[in-house]
Structure 1
Amino acid sequence: MSAPDRVGRRAFVVGTGAAALLAGSGAGAGAGSAAAAEPGAVAEAGVVAEAGVVEGALPDFHPLLKEELRFPLAWGTSPIRDFRAWRRAARAKVEEHLFVGPDDGTPYAPEFGARAEADGYTRESVTLALTRHERVRGALLTPHGTGPFPAVLLLHDHGSKFDIGKEKLVRPWGDGEARLASAQAWADRCFSGRFVGDELARRGYVVLALDALGWGDRGPITYEQQQALASNLFNLGSSLAGLMAREDVRAAAFLAGLDRVDRRRVAAVGFSMGAFRAWQTAALSDDIAAAASVCWMTGLKEVMVPGNNITRGQSAYHMLHPGLARHLDFPDVASIAAPRPMLFFHGAQDSLFTAEGVRVAYEKLGAVWRSRHAGERLHTKVWPDLGHVFADRMQDEVFAWLDSVL
């Protein structure tokens, strides 16, 4: 670092006795000062550490922080050698970092709304208690015919678009033209014009989609309000990401418990933030038999680089469990679901995730599933010509995969 770059910065020598000020004070010019000592003398006194500065959204010492992340509870690194025991320990560690109390058994007390028939399935709204604090309205689609049916918990994305949540994936009905227009525009942008939930219902799946806090009926918040919402929940002893995780697990249990559903054949499916939610729910819930995650899987170290979207804050708070990175990486958490069937897709043109981060994550996941002699149950793929989308051809492959595993 050049001399001008050091102006205004302080460095300290950490020794066995006291810290000596090396720079930033007039005493440094004295003949007997620490600043006048030979380099060797400084090294013998202790470790020189410079005060950090913030350049952009990351402190300049962030590479050192990343080096300290060893993910000691990861399967294969953890001293726990029995996989079932490891799964229990890893899940407990995630639960510990949710900062939201465990499921207290609050009755769902579902209220089903008026039905509307569609092409091969029935639409109905359902309102239920995911926690003791709030009741949430969702969209429930049921195929025509005789059940019980396989089912999909469909988890919506972030997209910095908050006026709709469940409607991003299920075509709205009875909510006015404005909401339908917004939903169709989102489907055109991300899903090749399709509503993924309606496609699944036509294929014979019961589908449940609910709003996360801040979206649709539970919002809308603005992009700039996310950080305040997250910090206020932390101040209240809770967590935005932890609440979402807990609600998704509760939603999975509700769906699996419906009479119309075959509880052995329930999958979680999501795109973008919904993909994160899908593999997270599979890791934390035994009600999920399989999960498909499109466009959200990476190694943490590889995605924490200057300029990446996750370093901006705001949307990152929906997926941030403070302190968990001291124990587990993202693919380590997803691996708690092993050896159940899991699918991960990524678009090579997706600017939100580095190619190295996706590669590292896929390698970690593959090692875990192979260790369980279940490599064929893990399906990972990079689509070279696609970006951050869940395009129709990706959907078709996911649908076929779900048919095969459920």
Structure 2
Amino acid sequence: MEGKFTDNLGRIYGLYTGGFIGFIILMAIFEQMGMGAATIGILFVAFTIVIYAAIGWLSRTMEVSAYYVAGREVPAVYNGMATAADWMSGASFVALAGGIYFGGYSYLAFIVGWTGGYVLVNSLMAPYLRKFGCYTVPDFIGTRYGGNVARLCAVVVLVVASFTYVTAQINASGTIAARALQIPFEVGVWIGLLGILLCSMLGGMRAVTWTQVAQYIVLIIAYLIPVIWMSNSQGFGIIPHFSYGEAVARIQELEPALQLGAAAVDKPPFGGVKILSVPHFDPQGGMQSWSFATLAICMMMGTASLPHILMRYFTTPSVRDARRSVAFSLFFIFLLYFTAPALATLTKLQLLDPTLATSIIGKSIAEV
């Protein structure tokens, strides 16, 4: 059954992608017919959770190898997609464009560091983890350095790092669910946890892998569509990545005239948050050069040591596929990171340009 599934991955996920796009079009039609945003949000969440739960159920297994490392049968391309979905946390999907919106060039340190981290993974981590043939990172540490002491230390570090990371992700999932479904934050957290349970409990890494491939498709489509729509509506075409320079120039004209950016936060009580609101076009921003470099280095080191990312490279058929999957991971993550600056720029222009209907300049809070 598994062999048949892996032999038809392109067809299966092609149909899934087409179905999801069709669902988006259907929701757009319902919106034009008067369906409320809250109802559409509920349908979106329900649709994705049902799909993920179905994948988790169909991927259920009792085999140790399949549960822990997906049988080591995940092709490099799909492992790259799963890794990208694993990596696209609340910080990447929700906060990155917002950080660039407020902080400008300074926040590119995160992009440089996060993408640079995958170079370290490719050269120093992934091939050696796969070569050892272990099931977990503590197994690798215990085998490589010998004894249970090293293994125990690895377990403690992994649990602490994972707990910190998971706490932030659960918070983000609760926030997103609360906004999308108009429900209390606490209920949103439980919905997120339920989704995780349905996706992973019965099938382990095999279920998580195929679910994450589906998640990546949803994430990247959901991220690209608003950017393409805004770019086209503002006259920059449907590929904004190479054409939003004019938007930056327009913002450069608007910010000084509207007393935004650094001019708005030089005096108390906002002096301490100057780094969060600098001119969009200022390459220096509110961060010193050494701060930019050290932040990027810290992000690189952190990326190269994230437990849930390193686990993905145990699932490939060979060491060569582990290296290739890192390259595909970087490509699929690049699609989002290449789009984030465009999203931040076009969103800022959407709000500031008085010639656009969405501008908030000169309007009261009630009008906004």
TM-score bracket for the superposition, by shorter chain length: under 0.3
Larger RCO: Structure 1 or Structure 2 (Cα < 8 Å, ≥ 6 residues apart)? 2
TM-score (norm 2): 0.25
TM-score by length of 1: 0.23
Higher strand share: 1
